[in-house]
Structure formats: structure tokens, C-alpha cells
Copies of this chain bind each other. A is one copy, B any other.
Amino acid sequence: MKLDARHLELLAAVVEHGGLTEGAAALGKSQPSVSRTLGALEARVGQPLFVPGRRPLQPTDLGRSLAEQGAAILRASRAAGDTVDRYRHGRSGEVRIGGTPFFMDGVVSGMIAEFQMQNPDVRIRQSYDYAPDLMRQIAEGTLDLGICPVRPDTVPESFAFTPILAGRNVVACRKGHPLLTRRGVLTEEIFRYPWIAPPADSPLYADLKLTLAALGAQDFKIGFSGGTLASVFAILNGSDALTVLPYSVVFLTGRRNDIASLRIRINHPDRDLGLLRRRGADPSPATDRFRQFIETRFRQLSQVILHSEQIALWRGADDRPQRDRA
């Protein structure tokens, strides 16, 4: 026998509230409506659902059993409603975010962690890619957000780009590196140390080449390449190798990983780190919420970086990277 789920909900409400009138009130309906519908259900079932002629309307065994099923239906229905509500407020759902590996690992992951703590029901799918692939996937609709360095004026019309951080790089090394003890670093000295190269197709690798070329390098030793940020940190820690890293990565994770940056002035790429998303597509609420979270966190990060540099300036300290525009 097939029963209407709404009839069972009705029955559950009436049984729970101990009366037709109360049940109807709880459901926001009139009493006759509930009465008639329950009558129809009873007729359909062919068995009394309430003991007849009892004034504080008392369900029969069968009525109680069916009411339990109705309560289950009501629960599921409410749960569905809640799911929708949370989804609409971005507190549940899925966000697919991709970005350049070192930046994701060094900066974004920490923010994701914080977001996860606040929104445990939002699933974050992270992937690693560079701008062209990110754009392709965003255009295809298989990715919600991209975080990577791009030149804002090269972003196609179909994308929205929000700059979140200046794309500055620094030369990074371990805390105890010989070059750090010196007051000043001669550019030719850095070529005596082995270099860690980011993946060949990464913008960071292009930056590395440009930087070193600008510093007058014809040739430099690549001692390691192909690893993730974690392995780069390990190599840096265990050797005197040098590499180029985004300033924000060193700023945020340098202390924890015993990494510092050389006090050496290097040119900076004319790219901004920013958030890419598809223009016109309305994103899932979770994506929106995540994006806003990320944007405010980066605003705060910019402030903190600026602040710390000003403190360093006032102190006259010099264990910070030299700023190009300072």
C-alpha cells in the first residue's frame, strides 16, 4: 500500500501534539483541513488510526506506528530544509580551488585550515596548476577559483580577477646560511651556491631565471628541482642552497621552517597574486563565502606585512628583504 508522505507527516504532528486542533495549529493549517485529510488516510488504511470516541484523541497501535514513520519523514524533510539553508549561506557544499603549488602550500593552505574550522561541512577540493590550466578549468566549469600570479591586463574579459597580494619574490635560504651573516651581499657571491629550481613551467622558474639574469648570472648551478614546497624547505634546511620564493611564503612560514630571505634587492615580476573566477557564472554560495574569506584574509595579510616592514624600518633593522620601491 502506498501512503502519501504528507499524510504521514500530518499524522505525526497530530499524534505528537496530542490533538487535532493543536496539531493543525502546529502545522499552520486549519483544524477541518487536518480532520478531513486524516479521515481520508484512515479510510485508505482501512483501519482506525485513533480509538473512536475518546476525547483526548488517542492513537491506536497502528496509528502510533504510522506516526513514527511520519516523524521520520518530518525529520528528513527538515534535514533537507536545513541542508538547503546551510548551502545557501555557504556553510555546506563544495569549493574547487586550484593554484600555483608553492603559493597554495605556503600561504593558502593555512587559510583553508582556518576556513575548515569555521565551516566543517564545506568540502574543499584543492588542485595545483598554473594560470593557463587554471583558466581553462575555470572556463570549463570544473574549477571554481584559481589563485595564481597574473598580469591583470592580460586576463580575458570572461574572467574576474581580484588582486590580493603583490607578486614579490625573494631569494630564500636557511636561517644559518653564510650569506646571512654578512652585512651586505655581493651579487656574485650568490652564484657560488647551488640553486633549487621550481618546476620548469612555473612562473616562479621564469622569475628565477629573470632575477638571476638581471643580477648578471650567465650560468648557475641547479642542485635540485621538481619538488614541492615541503621538499624545498627540507633541501634549504639541510644545505646552503638558495631559491626564489614568493615573499608571502617566506613571511608566513619562514620562522616555522627556519627559512630567511637574503638582504638582496631583486627585481619583482609585474604580476599580482590574485583570485581568478569566471565572470557571469553565479558561484555556489560556499564558493562565494570561501572567496570572501580568502579575500579578507589576504587583505589582513597585506596589512600585517606592511606593518611589520614599517616596524622594521623604524627600528632600522635590516633582517628583512629590501623593498624595491622603498
Write the residues of chain A forming the contact surface with B, with a CB cutoff of 8 angstroms.
Answer: 1-6, 8-9, 45-47, 61-62, 65-66, 69-70, 72-74, 76-77, 79-85, 87-88, 92-94, 123, 284-285
Instruction: Decide if the interface of chain A is mainly helix, strand, loop or mixed.
Output: helix
B87 and A76 within 8 A (CB) = no
B residues less than 8 Å from A47 (CB atoms): 84, 87-88, 284-285
Report the minimal beta-carbon distance from A287 to chain B, rounded to whole angstroms: 11
A4 and B3 within 8 A (CB) = no
* 5 examples of A-B residue contacts, CB within 8 angstroms: A2-B77, A5-B74, A61-B93, A65-B80, A73-B77
Partner of A66, one of B3, B72, B84, B284: B84
A93 and B3 within 8 A (CB) = no
B residues less than 8 Å from A81 (CB atoms): 1-3
A80 with B76: in contact, given A46-B88, A47-B284, A62-B93 (CB under 8 Å)? no
Report the minimal beta-carbon distance from A53 to chain B, rounded to whole angstroms: 9
B70 and A80 within 8 A (CB) = yes
Report the minimal beta-carbon distance from A29 to chain B, rounded to whole angstroms: 12
> Other than the known A1-B81, A72-B72, A76-B76, what 18 A-B pairs have Cβ atoms closer than 8 Å?
A1-B85, A2-B77, A2-B81, A4-B6, A5-B5, A5-B73, A5-B76, A6-B6, A8-B76, A46-B88, A47-B285, A65-B87, A65-B92, A66-B83, A69-B76, A72-B76, A73-B73, A73-B77
Whole-angstrom distance between the alpha carbons of A88 and B62 in the complex?
10
B residues less than 8 Å from A70 (CB atoms): 76, 80
A76 and B77 within 8 A (CB) = no
B residues less than 8 Å from A74 (CB atoms): 5
Report the minimal beta-carbon distance from A322 to chain B, rounded to whole angstroms: 47
B residues less than 8 Å from A2 (CB atoms): 77, 81
B residues less than 8 Å from A62 (CB atoms): 83-84, 87, 93
B84 and A77 within 8 A (CB) = no
B residues less than 8 Å from A285 (CB atoms): 47
B residues less than 8 Å from A84 (CB atoms): 1, 3, 45-47, 62, 66
